[in-house]
Structure 1
Amino acid sequence: MKKTALLLFFLFPQFLSAQYNYEPSEEYPFGRINPSARGELADFQPLIGESECSSVTRNPDQSWADPVPMLWRFKYIMDGMAVQDETLKEDGTHSGSIRQFNSDSLAWYVHYYASAGAAPVLPVWEGSKKDDGNIVLYRPQVAPNGMEGYYRLTFFDISDDNFEWIGEWVDLTEKIIFPTWKISCTKKD
């Protein structure tokens, strides 16, 4: 009886961990894509892992602020069915998001959160990977002058070694473009 109980004690944790083969683990620290997931989950594959980045935002006078060093970490979560990212910035303003692909709308939904404050409802961007390889996400946003538009997020120049990111306000036709945030990243080994 004792041997059976001891055997179950040691095997039970392995049984539990074996159920989630695509979660981050010692062997795969950033998780893996679940083979049952939509193919679009691979859109973020080049970003998976850790990158050293430089983040630049606008000052109140609209000039560009000094760059802030940051670490940007992407990993697969929910047993390889979604992507989570987090930023750790030297200025102490950290943030992250949960990225899920919706099979019905064929779009990414990105829920954003930040350490600056807990929001009762998370802001959501919606978008997809384009033919040029860029990942473009939108969220409706009215400009300070009342003009309707979007806050557009774009991942571009994506490779296995680096990527760029930009946040911009755009009008509904995307002819008026005002960048407010830029991030340049290099993957860590």
Structure 2
Amino acid sequence: MRISTLLLFFLSFSAFAQYEYEPSKDYPFGRPNPEAPQQITDFSAMIGECDCKSSTRNQDGSWSEEIDMIWRWKYILNGTAVQDETLKADGGHSGSIRQFVADSSRWYVHWFSSKTPSTTLPTWEGNKKEDKIVLYREQKAPNGMEGFFRLTFYDMSESGYKWIGEWVDKSESVVFPTWKINCTRKKK
């Protein structure tokens, strides 16, 4: 009887350790796993929930009216990756899975959207550079010029953060912003 009780305790503790860094009652947005690469904390300023305003560029070059949005972030895969989701007032929801791959020393971000379901997810890659996180995905401009769609998180703090999506040429000397989001912390 004693051995079975001890075995049950050990199995319960072992199962808990497998999920120790997942979102829970005590940690609703999970926690970074100390066994993960140190870069797992690059997105720590975003973990939690923010109220945001999102605006995209119109065809005429002006900016659209801002859309209210909730941007929610959490640690997943037992604290070894980051997931985010956006809930927009216009019904255009999206999300990403973010994994840091130590072999390439880069973040890989796989994006999905309710408005544009896809059989393969577009992927951005990049790193934290000083006080910004910068990610790139190859994309031609409408005129056929080679370049990237660049995503940048900046002004990251406990009170919120900003995000901008821009088309840039290969040298990054031509920069055309197409989407911007400003976020204010709601929950951590």
In structure 1, the partner of 2:135 is 137
Distance between the aligned counterparts of 1:36 and 1:19, measured in 2? Answer: 12
Identity score, percent:
58
In structure 1, the partner of 2:56 is 57
Unaligned 5+ residue runs, structure 2? none
* Cα-to-partner distance string for 1:14-70 (whole Å, 9 max, x where unaligned): 764453100000000000000100000110011100000000011232211100000
Alignment-mate amino acid for residue 144 of structure 1: P
Decide whether aligned partners of structure 1 residues 48 and 150 sit closer, same or farther in structure 2, where only a CA change above 3 A counts: same
Aligned length: 183
Secondary structure, aligned partner of 2:45: helix
Matches within 5 A, 1:37-56: 37-56=36-55
Decide whether aligned partners of structure 1 residues 14 and 93 sit closer, same or farther in structure 2, where only a CA change above 3 A counts: farther
In structure 1, the partner of 2:185 is 187
Matches within 5 A, 1:79-90: 79-90=78-89
Matches within 5 A, 1:137-176: 137-176=135-174
Distance between the aligned counterparts of 2:114 and 2:45, measured in 1? Answer: 26
User: Under a length normalisation based on structure 2, what TM-score does the superposition of the two structures give?
Assistant: 0.91
In structure 1, the partner of 2:116 is 117
- 1:99, CA displacement in angstroms? 0.3
Distance between the aligned counterparts of 1:171 and 1:98, measured in 2? Answer: 26
Alignment-mate amino acid for residue 27 of structure 1: D
- 1:117, CA displacement in angstroms? 3.1
Please report the RMSD computed on the Cα atoms of aligned residues, expressed in angstroms. 1.9
Stretches of 4+ aligned residues off by more than 3 angstroms: 11-18
- 1:13, CA displacement in angstroms? 7.1
Distance between the aligned counterparts of 1:128 and 1:98, measured in 2? Answer: 15
